[in-house]
């Protein structure tokens, strides 16, 4: 998992590549959020990305040491500071949730309770003006829908892995088997 041509927005405290995995340790009080409810803007989270043209499907497996409120890791699609989507695992109220934040000028947040697992596979697909977010459910090994969100259509977007630790530094997370390729079918139901 060399991720040639990928660049960091806000490089983390530490990171290393080992085989098909990227290991990251977050910096202090990092986050992506824009205004809603909390009345602040944050654009300090770690994002390793490359520009991707057209429609695509990106997947990654995330394994983190979730211990402190809002520790989070997953995938991100981004046009800039005011238009982005992050999706992955987030630690809240002492449990792991599948979390999606959609930001079109302001952020919104949705959560789905998932079974505790050592790792979770995440998928994000762009279908022109829509971003489709899914996770692989370990109980039945099927892709579950988490969100279908509007995202401004453009020729290309920045896509990659992200992680944050809004309440601390030193959240340790590993990303493995990152892939990006043609979009999956537009069929929403099996």
pTM of the model: 0.96
Give the pLDDT confidence score for residue 1 in this predicted structure: 57
Closest by Cα among 51, 52, 101, 48 to 72: 101
**Structure tokens that stand for 2 in this block:** 């060399």
> Where do the domains of the chain lie?
7-152
Backbone phi, psi, residue 139, to 5°: -75, -30
Q: What are 110-155's pLDDT values in tens digits? A: 999 998 888 999 999 999 999 999 999 988 999 999 999 999 999 9
Q: What are 55-113's pLDDT values in tens digits? A: 999 999 999 999 999 999 999 999 999 999 999 999 999 999 999 999 999 999 999 99
Helix/strand number for the chain, H first, E second: 0, 16
Closest by Cα among 61, 52, 32 to 125: 52
Give the pLDDT confidence score for residue 39 in this predicted structure: 77
**Any bridge partners for residue 10, and if so which?**
none
**Exposed, middle or buried, 138 (CB in 10 Å: 0-12/13-18/19+)?**
middle
- Report the Cα–Cα distance between both ends of the chain, in Å, rounded: 31
Match domain 7-152 to its CATH number in 2.130.10.10, 2.60.120.200, 3.40.50.920, 3.30.360.10. 2.60.120.200
What whole-number distance in Å separates Cα of residue 97 and Cα of residue 78?
22
For residue 163, give Cα distances in angstroms to 71, 72, 182, 183.
8, 6, 24, 24
């Amino acid at each position: 998992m060399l991720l040639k041509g990928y660049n960091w927005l806000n490089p983390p405290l530490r990171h290393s590549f080992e085989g098909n995995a990227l290991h990251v340790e977050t910096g202090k009080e990092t986050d992506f959020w824009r205004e809603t409810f909390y009345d602040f803007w944050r654009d300090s989270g770690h994002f390793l990305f490359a520009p991707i043209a057209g429609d695509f499907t990106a997947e990654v497996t995330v394994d983190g040491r979730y211990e402190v409120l809002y520790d989070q890791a997953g995938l991100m699609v981004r046009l800039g500071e005011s238009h982005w989507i992050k999706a992955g695992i987030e630690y809240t109220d002492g449990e792991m949730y599948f979390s999606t934040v959609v930001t079109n000028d302001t952020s919104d947040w949705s959560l789905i309770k998932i079974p505790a697992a050592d790792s979770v596979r995440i998928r994000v697909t762009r279908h022109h003006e829509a971003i489709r977010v899914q996770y692989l459910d370990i109980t039945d090994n099927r892709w579950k829908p988490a969100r279908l969100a509007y995202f401004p259509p453009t020729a290309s977007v920045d896509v990659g892995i992200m992680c944050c630790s809004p309440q601390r530094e030193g959240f340790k997370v590993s990303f493995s088997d990152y892939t990006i390729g043609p979009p999956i079918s537009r069929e929403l139901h099996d």
